[in-house]
Structure formats: C-alpha cells, structure tokens
Amino acid sequence: MTAYQQGDFVRTVEQLETLSELEPANSAEVDFYLGVSLLLTGRGPEAVAPLKRAAQSNDDQQREAPRFYLALAHLKQNEIGQATAELDAVIEMNGEHALSAKDLKRRILDGIK
C-alpha cells in the first residue's frame, strides 16, 4: 500500500495484480484499490471489473466506496445510465460518499438538460 499512499498508481496496479493472483482471500479490498488505481491511471474500462467485484461485498460500508468509484468509471466511458444507477445506490446507502454522489448526480443531470 506504500505505492498507493505515495500516489504511484502505476506501481500499485502492478503490485495489486500480482497480489490478487497470489492471495485471492483479500479479494474485495484488493479489487477496490486495484479498480481505483486503474481509474486514476486513465484505465477506466479496466477499472470496472474489479470495482464491480469489490461492490459485491456483504457489508454495506464496504460496498459504498467501490460503487461510487464504479460510477466514476462509467462516467469516464460516457455510460451515463450506469453511472447514475451506481450513484443512486450510493445515495441510498446514506454513508460517507452519499453527499458527493448526490452532488455528482445533480451535475450530471444538469449537464444533460
């Protein structure tokens, strides 16, 4: 996680891809950070799969952040319907990212008008 904390997302992707192959037990957390790192390196389409897997966690708190970043990944691909659906789910969870999700959804809808 040192590479991630230092903002070296290319190296983070390399390390997490290796880790996910070696230790699939930590998959939800690894998938989340892998997805975010892919997104931050401009690889939005590749970020979708790990973020979707991370969002399938049993814990609502652990699903909220992946779904928020999944919305961002969909936006990067101009998939507005999927992005707003993910934002709606985040808003409904009413957790840490709910306010940001509401704001982003409002900006998306304002941009469509």
pLDDT digits (tens, 9 = 90+) for 5-43: 888 888 888 888 888 777 766 688 899 999 999 999 999
Query: Could you state, in order of their start, the residue ranges of all structural domains in the chain?
Result: 2-112
Helix (H, G, I), strand (E, B) or coil at 6: coil
Least confident of 12-16, 44-48, 57-61, 90-94: 57-61
CATH number of the domain located at residue range(s) 2-112 in this protein:
1.25.40.10
pLDDT digits (tens, 9 = 90+) for 65-104: 999 999 999 999 999 999 999 999 999 999 999 999 999 9
Closest of 76, 75, 78 to residue 87, by C-alpha: 75
What pLDDT, on a 0 to 100 scale, did the predictor assign at position 3? 83
The pTM for the full model equals 0.86
